Amino acid sequence: MEADPLPPDLPLDGLLVLDMAQFLSGPSAALRLADLGARVIKVERPGAGDICRSLYLTDTDIGGDSTLFHAINRNKEGIALDYRMEADRETLFRLADRADVVIQNFRPGVADRLGIGPKALGARNPRLVVGTISGYGEDGPWAGWPGQDLLAQALSGAMWLSGSADDGPVPFGLSVADMLAGHLLTEGLLAALVRRSIRGQGAHVETSLLEAMIDFQFEVLTTHLNDGGRLPRRAQVRNAHAYLAAPYGVYRTRDGWLALAMTPLPRLEEAFAIPLAGDAFRDRDRLRQLLADRIAQEDSESWLATLRARDIWCAPVLDWPQLMADEAFRRLEMLQPIGRDGDTLMTTRSPLRFDGLRARNGRGAPHVDQHGAAIRREMGEA
């Protein structure tokens, strides 16, 4: 299915990106660039290809690949290269000589040992922008450790922010380190491309899963660093943010769940018709328990009507079917069908709009080396 092509005037139309990365972080950055209009060629090992092809979130398989691989590699072309083979390295060099951006996430030192690292590629193409993602930086005692999302979360300290006081460390229910690192790399690549347009020089842009997780916590880490080194203290009741006072949290109603954001206690007293005397932070567990007991007595719609009439910040807690059934979600048009070889699946679209339009492309993720022959001909190979 090749319908709904990207419009020709997206910001990165005409740029060539080589996605040499695997798993999530690097390929997610390449996906962002593709959604911005760049032509992205995914470079994989012959045979099995990207390990992410067999990284299944459920038992759903579409055309021999996981839904995760389809989601993160849509709208890319595919070529297979064995970097240990001289002929394949030469093909890579020809591609890199024409490319604007190359993305890698090898373990530190691997690309350099293979002769395909940022210095080697940049020496051939001084205007090239190379982006690399590692687990924990290029050197230091953690550099050789596996760069994996859950491990980066564990090392970052972030697991002590979610959950309630007695829960122990709580990981995010998403591959948040991978996704954040991909976003940060995209930001750096775009900045380097702007500089190249001014000065005519390429760049090597680097980040890591750990740096992404540290940056993600910049607000609360700044508080910790300037607050006598005190650690955050998660609430015992309905914790939603270790540093924020009552009522900030998620509460069960008679028929669902309700999120309450920052609100002065006197306004809450009026809305809920209960006394809430005390300090919103120091007494937050007691106050949240009072709120929890009261909120559980009525249904979500009743509370939403009462609270919104008083301009109290609140929202229902939706699951995915509830979200997708809502007109507010449908108006965003954030879903699209993509396909390959007759198989079709639904996935998300770019979260950006340009001049009122959101990019749409129905092309699914490539098979291993699906476009290899055509790309080699384009490079002038027989």
Strand ranges for the chain from DSSP E: 16-19, 39-44, 61-62, 65-66, 77-80, 101-104, 129-134, 203-208, 249-252, 257-260, 314-316, 335-340, 343-348, 353-354, 357-358
The predicted model scores a pTM of: 0.93
Rounded percentage of the chain residues whose pLDDT exceeds 90: 87
pLDDT in tens, 142-167: 999 999 999 999 999 999 999 999 99
Whether the CA torsion 205, 210, 213, 218 is positive or negative: it is negative
Q: How far apart are CA 352 and CA 43, in angstroms?
A: 26
Residue at 33: amino acid letter: L
Question: What is the residue-wise DSSP string for 7-36?
Answer: PTTSTTTT-EEEE---TTHHHHHHHHHHHT
Determine the pLDDT at residue 381. Answer: 85
Determine the pLDDT at residue 382. Answer: 64
Nearest to 66 by CA among 17, 27, 20, 33: 27
Q: Span 112-126, mean pLDDT?
A: 97
Q: What is the strand order of the sheet 249-252 is part of?
A: 249-252, 257-260, 314-316
Domains by residue range for the chain, with CATH: 16-216+330-378 (3.40.50.10540), 249-324 (3.30.1540.10)
Determine the pLDDT at residue 7. Answer: 56
Q: What is the mean pLDDT of the chain?
A: 94
Q: State how far the alpha carbon of 162 is from the alpha carbons of 215, 233, 294, 317, 346, in Å.
A: 17, 10, 24, 17, 31
Taking the mean position of all CA atoms in its chain, how far away is CA 74? 15
Options 35, 100, 149, 178, the catalytic residue: 178
Residue 338: strand pairing partners: 345
pLDDT in tens, 278-294: 999 999 999 999 999 99
Determine the pLDDT at residue 4. Answer: 44
Q: How far apart are CA 260 and CA 276, in angstroms?
A: 15
Determine the pLDDT at residue 358. Answer: 86
**Is residue 1 predicted with pLDDT exceeding 50?**
no
Q: Tell me which of 110-124, 194-208, 251-265, 356-370 is least confident.
A: 356-370
Q: Is 355 a catalytic residue?
A: no
User: Which residues have CB under 8 Å from 368's CB, separation 6+?
Assistant: 44, 46, 47, 48, 49, 53, 78, 80
**Is residue 361 predicted with pLDDT exceeding 90?**
no
Q: How far apart are CA 200 and CA 80, in angstroms?
A: 31
Q: Who has greater pLDDT, 169 or 358? A: 169
**Parallel, antiparallel, or unpaired for β 129-134 and 101-104?**
parallel
pLDDT in tens, 31-73: 999 999 999 999 999 998 999 998 877 888 788 888 999 999 9
Nearest to 365 by CA among 58, 38, 41, 6: 41
3-state secondary structure of 264: coil
| Phi, psi torsion values for 218, nearest 5 degrees | -55, -35
Determine the pLDDT at residue 339. Answer: 87
Q: Who has greater pLDDT, 300 or 8? A: 300
Determine the pLDDT at residue 343. Answer: 85
Q: Which band of pLDDT confidence, cut at 50, 70 and 90, is reported for residue 6?
A: low
130, 100 contact by CB (below 8 A)? no
